[in-house]
Structures are given as C-alpha cells and as structure tokens.
Amino acid sequence: MNLRNLLFLLALTMLSGCGCTDDVTLDYQLTDFEKSLIPFDSDTEVEFITDDQVIIKALNTEKTIEIMDLNFSDDESCMSTLIEIHENELIFESEGKQFGYRVAKNHGNSSNIGATDGIISYGAGETNTENLEERLTNISTDGFEFNNVIVLNSIDNSTFIVCKANRGIEFIKNSDGSYLKRVE
C-alpha cells in the first residue's frame, strides 16, 4: 500500500468517525400548572398574619427562569438533556427570614418542588411524577382550610409550608407551633 492510499484511508476514517449523525436533545419543560406555582413576574409585596394576629409584610421576588443543560461531560456526546427551573424568594425583612422556593424538572422528566430557609429544607416527599398537579391535596391546620395545595414538609416533619398555584407560599408552620398565613 502506498503512502497516498494510506493517507486517503486515514482521512476517510477521520471524517466518518468524528461528529454525530443524530444529535438528540431531551427538553424537559415545566407544565403550565408547575409554572403557576411561582407566579411572580415582578417583585410583589404580600402580607402574612401571625398566630398572634400581627400583620407582617413580605416580598416575593421576581422569579428567575433557567434552562440548564445536565450534560457536563467533556466527551463528544451527541445527546443533550435540558431542564427548566423556576425560582424566587419570599423575604420577611422585619422577621429576618428568607425562603428560597424552587420548581424544576429533573432528568427523566420528573418534577420537583422545594423550599429552604437556609437552615431547614422542605420538600413534597416522593415526587417521581411528570406533573406536580398529581400532588395536590387538601389540608386543615390551625383553623384554616387549604384546598388544592402542595404541602412541603421538613425532613423531620416538624414544620411545613403550604403552596398554591397562582399564589406561591400560602402558609408556613414553625416548629414552635407558630405560623404565618398569607392574607387574601
């Protein structure tokens, strides 16, 4: 085999062996319902009432929307997995409390919702579902009825947060028995 044929075979191998013939993108987007769990397109002041009947002002920050690529490898993978994430914060400046609130898709198109106050993390338990609407429930606590809500429990179940579509965080139950309830 002469050098010219060898170079031709080498070039042919390099050209046919590199790159992808079928780029694949898995794009996991939140449903309209899931997007409605964080409805704040701008900073929004809201009021909560304490168990002592004191009105406290809070700020729901404008939600941030991120499309994250889950593929972090350095190989020349032809597959890309994109997930949608919505986040915002509920800030009680006078109380020195702040809650991060997040709704996201995960790999495999499962949905996730959670919150944290920086110390305690809250979650909806098993969320192996493609639509958080399946997690809707009714709850009665401290003389209040909440219908069609998602309940986020702390890991030790000593505290919880109630979330509602088109309103965000509605109710926060603290481990000492006190609470904050959003005013209509």
Query: Residue 35 in 3-state DSSP?
Result: helix
pLDDT, position 57? 98
Q: Are 168 and 88 in contact (CB under 8 A)?
A: yes
Task: Residue 65: name the closest of 29, 95, 93 by CA.
Answer: 29
pLDDT, position 20? 60
Q: Are 175 and 163 in contact (CB under 8 A)?
A: no
This prediction has a pTM of 0.82
pLDDT, position 73? 56
Distances in whole angstroms, Cα of residue 11 to Cα of each of 2, 75, 138: 15, 21, 66
Taking 50 as the pLDDT cut, the residues of the chain under it are none
Query: Residue 135 in 3-state DSSP?
Result: helix
pLDDT, position 106? 87
What distance in Å separates the CA atoms of residue 71 and residue 79, rounded to the nearest whole number? 8
Q: What angle do CA 150, 122, 155 make, to 5 degrees?
A: 120
> For residues 53, 91, 31 and 26, what is the CA-based torsion angle, rounded to 10 degrees?
-150
What distance in Å separates the CA atoms of residue 87 and residue 76, rounded to the nearest whole number? 31
Rounded to the nearest angstrom, the gap between the alpha carbon of residue 4 and the centroid of all alpha carbons in its chain is 58
Please give the mean pLDDT across all residues of the chain. 87
pLDDT, position 27? 87
pLDDT, position 166? 96
pLDDT, position 184? 80
